[in-house]
C-alpha cells in the first residue's frame, strides 16, 4: 500500500501549481480490490472511494460504513437505468452522466428517493467511438438542459483521455469547458497522470492501482 506516498506526490504537485492540496479530493478506486486492501486504506484514515458497479458497491460499503462511519462514495462507471434508484441511495457522487435520457431518469428517480448525489458529466474529448461521454461540441447545450430542464446538481465534468495520448490537452479542454459554464469540479487524472491533471486544475483524482496495487480480474 502506498497511500502516504500518493498523498505526498499530490501535495508536491499542488505546490508546484500554486494550489492548496486540500482543494483536491483523492478518490481511492476500490473496484474489484480485495476487501483486506480496502480495509487497510480505511484504517489509514482515508474516506473517499470510487466504484464502477452499483452491485459491487452495495455488497461491501453498507457494512464498511457501519463500521468506519461516513465514507464519501463515488460511482465512476456507467450507470444502468435499472440501477439508478439504488445508485442515488448509495453514492455521494456520480461521475458518468453522459446522455439526456439518463439525466431525465436521474431527475425522476431523485424526486422519488428524496436525494440526488453530485453529478459529473463525462465528456468524450477524444471523440472515441467506443467510449461514453458527451461530444465536446454538444457539452454547453447538454449542461444547459441538465440545469434548466432537469434541475440537476451538476458539480463538475469528467474525462478519461485517449490511451497513449498526451493527457494535458484533454485536461485543459475540460477545464475550459467548465470555466465557460461556471462549473468548478474537474474529475480527471488517474494513477499514471494525476500530477499532470493537478497542474491543469483537477479537483478530483481517480487513483486505484497506485494506491492498492494491480486490480483483481472482475470475473
pLDDT value at residue 219: 42
The answer to whether residue 219 is domain-embedded is no
What are the φ/ψ torsions at residue 157 (nearest 5 degrees)?
Answer: -120, 155
- Strand pairing of 25-29 and 72-75? unpaired
**Number of domains the chain contains:** 1
pLDDT value at residue 121: 98
The answer to whether residue 26 is domain-embedded is yes
Cα–Cα distance between 72 and 46 in angstroms, integer?
10
The answer to whether residue 180 is domain-embedded is yes
What are the φ/ψ torsions at residue 176 (nearest 5 degrees)?
Answer: -65, -40
The answer to whether residue 216 is domain-embedded is no
The answer to whether residue 217 is domain-embedded is no
Task: Please state the pTM of the whole predicted model.
Answer: 0.95
The answer to whether residue 218 is domain-embedded is no
Range of the domain at 80: 3-211
pLDDT value at residue 215: 67
Other CB atoms within 10 A of residue 163 CB: 9
SS3 per residue for 157-215: EECCCCCCCCHHHHHHHHHHHHHHCCCCEEECCCCCCHHHHHHCCCCEEEECHHHHCCC
Provide block-wise average pLDDT over 10 residues at a time, the chain (219 residues): 91 98 97 94 98 95 97 96 95 97 97 96 97 97 97 97 96 98 98 97 97 69
- CATH number, domain of 51, equals 3.20.20.10
Which H or E run contains 93? strand 93-97
Amino acid at each position: 500500500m502506498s497511500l502516504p506516498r500518493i498523498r505526498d506526490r499530490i501535495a508536491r504537485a499542488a505546490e508546484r501549481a500554486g494550489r492548496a492540496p486540500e482543494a483536491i479530493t483523492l478518490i481511492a478506486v476500490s473496484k474489484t480490490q480485495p476487501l483486506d486492501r480496502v480495509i487497510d486504506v480505511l484504517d489509514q484514515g482515508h474516506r473517499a472511494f470510487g466504484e464502477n458497479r452499483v452491485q459491487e458497491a452495495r455488497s461491501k460499503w453498507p457494512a464498511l460504513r457501519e463500521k468506519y462511519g461516513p465514507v464519501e462514495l463515488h460511482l465512476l462507471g456507467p450507470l444502468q437505468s435499472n440501477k439508478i434508484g439504488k445508485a442515488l441511495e448509495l453514492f455521494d457522487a456520480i461521475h458518468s452522466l453522459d446522455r439526456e435520457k439518463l439525466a431525465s431518469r436521474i431527475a425522476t428517480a431523485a424526486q422519488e428517493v428524496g436525494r440526488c448525489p453530485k453529478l459529473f458529466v463525462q465528456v468524450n474529448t477524444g471523440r472515441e467511438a467506443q467510449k461514453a461521454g458527451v461530444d465536446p461540441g454538444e457539452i454547453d447545450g447538454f449542461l444547459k438542459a441538465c440545469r434548466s430542464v432537469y434541475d440537476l446538481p451538476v458539480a463538475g465534468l469528467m474525462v478519461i483521455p485517449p490511451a497513449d495520448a498526451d493527457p494535458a490537452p484533454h485536461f485543459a479542454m475540460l477545464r475550459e469547458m467548465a470555466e465557460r459554464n461556471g462549473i468548478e469540479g474537474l474529475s480527471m487524472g488517474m494513477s499514471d497522470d494525476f500530477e499532470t491533471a493537478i497542474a491543469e486544475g483537477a479537483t478530483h483524482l481517480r487513483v486505484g492501482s497506485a494506491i492498492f496495487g494491480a486490480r483483481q480480474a472482475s470475473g
